[in-house]
């Protein structure tokens, strides 16, 4: 590609969207750029581990991270990302009460309906 084409805002937008379709961390950055930043290496590693798990034949993934480190937000992003890749995907969430699971579902729905980039 030539430089002028790469500097075209529409081409840049399409490249960002295509990258977000294939990479969970890029999708997270696109949806929540103030939280998912390149310098937050733990989030990049976290997303990579989740994506590797999703793309593997493994049956179990245990996530252990301190509070306020993006576990719930990443789970919401993951759900929206999976539905973007496969609208017939089946996702089950669990929480300690109906309110939290309702908020999770609403956030995912709103994310899917949002146009970014």
Which band of pLDDT confidence, cut at 50, 70 and 90, is reported for residue 7? confident
Long-range contacts of 49-53 (CB under 8 A, 24+ apart): 50/24, 50/74, 50/78, 51/23, 51/24, 51/25
What local confidence, expressed as pLDDT, does residue 79 receive?
96
- 79-109 pLDDT, tens digit per residue, is 999 999 999 999 888 888 888 889 999 999 9
Most confident of 3-7, 36-40, 92-96, 113-117: 36-40
Q: Which band of pLDDT confidence, cut at 50, 70 and 90, is reported for residue 1?
A: low
pTM: predicted TM-score of the whole model, two decimal places: 0.87
pLDDT band at 117 (very low <50, low <70, confident <90, very high): low
- What local confidence, expressed as pLDDT, does residue 21 receive? 96
Domain range list for the chain? 3-113
């Amino acid at each position: 590609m030539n430089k002028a084409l790469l500097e075209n805002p529409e081409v840049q937008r399409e490249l960002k969207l295509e990258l977000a379709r294939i990479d969970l961390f890029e999708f997270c950055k696109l949806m929540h750029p103030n939280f998912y930043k390149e310098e937050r290496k733990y989030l990049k590693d976290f997303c990579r581990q989740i994506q590797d798990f999703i793309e593997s034949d493994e049956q179990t993934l245990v996530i252990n991270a301190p509070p306020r480190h993006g576990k719930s937000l990443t789970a919401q992003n993951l759900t929206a990302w999976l539905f973007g890749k496969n609208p017939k995907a089946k996702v089950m969430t669990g929480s300690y009460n109906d309110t939290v699971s309702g908020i999770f579902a609403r956030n995912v729905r709103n994310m899917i309906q949002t146009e970014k980039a």
